[in-house]
Amino acid sequence: MIKKIVFTLFLCALACLALLLTFKQQLNKPLNISVEQLITVEKGSSISRFSQQLVNKGWLENRFWLRNYARFSPQNTVIKAGTYLVKPQTPTLTLLTQVASGNEHQFSITFIEGSTFKEWLALLKKQPYLNNTLQDKSIAEIVKILGVEQDNPEGLFFPDTYAYTAKTNDVDVLLRAKTKMNKHLDEAWQSRMSDLPYKNKYQALIMASIIEKETSYIPEQPLIASVFVNRLNIKMRLQTDPTIIYGLGDRYQGDITYAHKREKTAYNTYRISGLPPTPIAMPGLSAIKAALNPAQSDYFYFVSNGDMQGNHTFSKTLAEHNVAVKLYLKKTQNN
């Protein structure tokens, strides 16, 4: 009698094992998709609902095997909400493992060095699967939401590539960029050169933004910084065009006129002494380092030399600078 019971149990176990192997064999068949696609699993979805979703998409012919797999492996069929990337020839079981582990697809957004906060907001607005919570907010409201001390948030966010999952709030991306900027600025400030003409880190950030807008050619950024530091040290006006452009805002149409240079605004460094009141863009790490560790030079002027690399001609005197400007104009006219 005992032998019969043992034998019966053995047969049952064997049958269960065979059935489980059949399930896995069926679930290891590739989904019916030919290109990468995204699938969004809503909160509260069950394995039954998820399997029906795959059938509705045409990825599965029927949901019997996937829906009933939970009977054999309930711990591996707890569905997590999110948006997932599915590649061609992905087995059903692989997708199930991905969804059960919550391994969501990572989208990315890239902010380039020298871009402005206005441009950041426009870029955030265009991102797929990103919750846009700032669209109808004023700058004053955004500043409050982000916990920014300054009235103008310009320059306070680090330009980089940031990954995010679907339904992430745009505020969360900005807060990460703000934290990263604070980290880099703090580190650069701790290793800064002595006797710099900045009262605080914020002024160094303003300078870094000007350097960033003057040149993206990293090897020359410390030399550009030296020109501006030299000018500040002798209370000479910075006279840098990017600050005028920022101050003009939407009024800038591609050319700086004589009237623009004569107009006294908070950002016209041809008319004001010292630094403008805020950064004029989001500086990258190289510009921050250049602002806090400028090259040692006797230069007070620079002008583009017109090459494709973005090099400049540096001068110690106005007379030398005027010659360099004439050469630049001649070169551009010939081209």
Q: What pLDDT, on the 0 to 100 scale, is given for residue 59?
A: 93
Does the pLDDT value for residue 96 go beyond 60? yes
pLDDT band, residue 270 (cuts 50/70/90): very high
pLDDT band, residue 18 (cuts 50/70/90): low
Determine the Cα–Cα distance for residues 281 and 245; give it in Å rounded to an integer.
11
Q: What pLDDT, on the 0 to 100 scale, is given for residue 257?
A: 86
Q: Are 188 and 271 in contact (CB under 8 A)?
A: no
Does the pLDDT value for residue 49 go beyond 60? yes
Average of per-residue pLDDT values in the chain: 90
pLDDT band, residue 20 (cuts 50/70/90): low
Determine the Cα–Cα distance for residues 319 and 332; give it in Å rounded to an integer.
20
pLDDT band, residue 192 (cuts 50/70/90): very high
Q: What pLDDT, on the 0 to 100 scale, is given for residue 162?
A: 97
Does the pLDDT value for residue 4 go beyond 80? no
Mean pLDDT score, 237-241: 95
Mean pLDDT score, 291-298: 96
3-class SS of residue 157: coil
Q: What is the pLDDT of residues 154-171, one digit of tens each?
A: 999 999 999 999 999 999
Q: Are 92 and 28 in contact (CB under 8 A)?
A: yes
| pLDDT higher at 325 or 280 | 280
Please identify which residue in the block is written with the tokens 């679907």.
166
Query: 68-74 long-range contacts, Cβ below 8 Å, gap at least 24?
Result: 68/23, 69/23, 69/27, 69/96, 72/16, 72/19, 72/20, 72/23
Does the pLDDT value for residue 202 go beyond 80? yes
Does the pLDDT value for residue 184 go beyond 60? yes
101-115, 170-184, 216-230, 300-314: least confident range: 300-314
Does the pLDDT value for residue 54 go beyond 80? yes
pLDDT band, residue 316 (cuts 50/70/90): very high
Angle at 85 between CA 21 and CA 161, to 5 degrees: 140
Does the pLDDT value for residue 7 go beyond 90? no
The alpha helices in the chain, defined as continuous H runs, are 2-27, 47-57, 64-69, 92-101, 117-126, 139-146, 170-190, 201-214, 221-233, 241-248, 258-262, 285-292, 318-334
Q: What pLDDT, on the 0 to 100 scale, is given for residue 330?
A: 82
Cβ neighbours of residue 105 closer than 8 Å, sequence gap 6 or more = 38, 83, 84, 85, 165, 166
Q: What is the DSSP letter of 91?
A: B
Q: Which residues share a beta bridge with 303?
A: 313
Q: What pLDDT, on the 0 to 100 scale, is given for residue 245?
A: 94
Q: What pLDDT, on the 0 to 100 scale, is given for residue 288?
A: 98
pLDDT band, residue 12 (cuts 50/70/90): low
Q: What pLDDT, on the 0 to 100 scale, is given for residue 255?
A: 85
Report residue 276 as tokens.
Answer: 């403008």
Q: What pLDDT, on the 0 to 100 scale, is given for residue 36?
A: 93
Determine the Cα–Cα distance for residues 36 and 39; give it in Å rounded to an integer.
10
Segment holding 41, helix H or strand E: strand 37-41
Q: What is the pLDDT of residues 97-151, one digit of tens each?
A: 999 999 999 999 999 999 999 999 999 999 989 999 998 899 999 999 999 999 9
Mean pLDDT score, 223-251: 95
pLDDT band, residue 1 (cuts 50/70/90): low
Q: How many C-beta atoms lie closer than 10 Å to residue 40's C-beta?
A: 15
- Portion of the chain with pLDDT greater than 90, in percent: 72
Q: What pLDDT, on the 0 to 100 scale, is given for residue 73?
A: 79
